[in-house]
Amino acid sequence: RNDIVFINLHDDEVTSDDAAKRILLEHGGLLIEIENNAQRNIRFKLDRYFYKVDPNRIFAEEGIKRSLEQLGRTSGRAVDEVEKLGQRILQLIPSDATCVVALHNNTPDLFSALEYTPGNKRSADTKKVYINAEEDADDFFLTTDNGLYEKLADKGFNTILQDNKNCTEDGSLSVYCGKKNIRYVNCETEHGKAEQYYEMMKTLLIILQKK
């Protein structure tokens, strides 16, 4: 099957990748992943200079420029080459895919669902947010689709609905999918929480198969 497409952009986020491969063995699907020596950011040489870019910031020119600048240096040619990589990844997604599932992990105290709650860093990018006080805020879903948001929140998962029209253009895959009206969901847990990730993915797959 290739209607559900899993994408692993950060090669250091192995918990999510391993759980997705378990799901693939059981149910099928398509996995697109960047192999990058277990590193988060991509380092490359161009015209005698080295550059670094976050591979989840390569789906819009604005995001590419900002990522290159933040991680070291930028140039017109470097932006063009990174943009080609982003376009190549997008070309690998079948045109009839029903959902793009991004595979991510985070580090405690650095990033969580709480950033999307009112008054916090990413609240302006958010249309709806559900936080389950009994669950770890580091374990959550973010989606571009209201139907998925409602179903995942109803299962008790921390869930964020992206504001597809007004979210900041940072070059991420979620923003790209939101603007292109592609159904997208990011499943995210702390590094190392393999069983938690697997259970979240199983629930997500059941929901997707019912739609």
pLDDT class of 30 with cuts at 50, 70, 90: very high
Question: Crossing angle for the helix pair 194-210 and 14-27, nearest 10 degrees?
Answer: 40
At 211 the pLDDT is 57
Name the more confident of 75 and 210: 75
Angle at 194 between CA 197 and CA 152, to 5 degrees: 10
Percent of the chain surpassing pLDDT 90: 92
Each residue of 164-189: pLDDT tens digit? 999 999 999 999 999 999 999 999 99
For residue range 35-51, list pLDDT tens digits in order: 999 999 999 999 999 99
The band of 110, judged by pLDDT with boundaries at 50, 70 and 90, is: confident
Size of the chain, expressed as the number of residues it contains: 211
- Range 74-102 average pLDDT: 97
Q: What percent of the chain stands above pLDDT 70?
A: 100
Q: What SS3 string covers the chain?
A: CCCEEEEECCCCCHHHHHHHHHHHHHHCCEEEECCCCCCCCEEEEECCEEEEECCCCCCCHHHHHHHHHHCCCCCHHHHHHHHHHHHHHHHCCCCCCCEEEEEEEECCCCCCHHHHCCCCCCHHHEEEEECCCCCCCCCEEEECCHHHHHHHHHCCCEEEEECCCCCCCCCCHHHHHHHCCCCEEEEEEECCCHHHHHHHHHHHHHHHHHC
pLDDT tens by residue, 124-153: 999 999 999 999 999 999 999 999 999 999
- Averaged pLDDT, 84-100: 96
What average pLDDT score do residues 20-40 get? 94
**pTM for the structure as a whole:** 0.95
**pLDDT for 2:** 77
**How much is the CA Rg of the chain, to the nearest whole Å?**
17
Mean pLDDT of the chain: 95
Residue 32: predicted pLDDT:
97
Q: Which two tokens stand for residue 46?
A: 């161009």
Residue with tokens 């277990």: 38
